[in-house]
Homo-oligomer: A and B are copies of this chain.
Amino acid sequence: MTSRTLDFWFEFASTYSYPAAMRIGAIAREAGVVVRCKAQGWDTSPFNIYAAKGRYMWRDLERLCQELDLPVVRPDPFPQNTLLAARVALAAAGEPWFEAFCRSVYGAEFGGGRNIADAGVIGGILDERGVAPATYLAAAQTPEVKERLKLQTEDAQRLGIFGAPSFTTLDGELFWGNDRLEAAVAWASRPVTASDRHSDI
């Protein structure tokens, strides 16, 4: 396995995962870094728990997306129930249209304000990719896929991940937030040596 690998941990309900998901492909490609996408499954948002932080986040996201020429709306409800989208993403892992599917989910949710808990919305996105919706909507409900999502969420916790988007490198670095995307890709593109392992301060 190449050392130029970066694991991208995202959550479809996570607002800052939206610009990160839209940006990571081009940035990683330019640095020669292979991205492995890892969906997580959450059930609440820290931005609803802390009101002042939530108000700030929407304005900050609006400013960020304006810079990136990305549309942004606040989906209702927020956070969305992302279990279906995450399971479909897991069922689709390895497919050539997988990354485009993920970007379309984010675009529908935060660019179009659509409810991604709706099987019709997810099915429509699959359909646009030329994929039979029924196949993946059914696969999403199998015990195998449900179990895989659970294991992946446990993996995230074991790696010390506490939010999304997060990025982890093979030599054990964790980067949190859309703001750290460039730093994470730069780290992943460094040659790995034993002395790179960090010490605790």
Residue of B nearest to A63 (CB): B183
| Chain A interface SS verdict (over half) | mixed
27 CB-based A-B contacts, threshold 8 Å? A50-B162, A52-B157, A52-B160, A52-B161, A52-B162, A53-B162, A53-B163, A56-B160, A56-B174, A56-B176, A58-B200, A58-B201, A59-B173, A59-B174, A59-B198, A59-B201, A60-B175, A60-B176, A60-B180, A62-B198, A63-B173, A63-B183, A72-B201, A73-B201, A74-B201, A177-B179, A179-B179
Interface residues of A (CB under 8 A from B): 50, 52-53, 55-56, 58-60, 62-63, 72-74, 157, 160-163, 173-177, 179-180, 183, 198, 200-201
Residue of B nearest to A65 (CB): B201
Q: Which residues of B contact A73 (CB under 8 A)?
A: 201
CB–CB B162/A56 < 8 A:
yes
Q: Which residues of B contact A62 (CB under 8 A)?
A: 198, 201
User: How distant is A130 from chain B, measured CB to nearest CB, in Å?
Assistant: 33
**Smallest CB-CB A-B distances: 6 pairs:** A52-B162, A179-B179, A53-B162, A62-B201, A52-B160, A74-B201
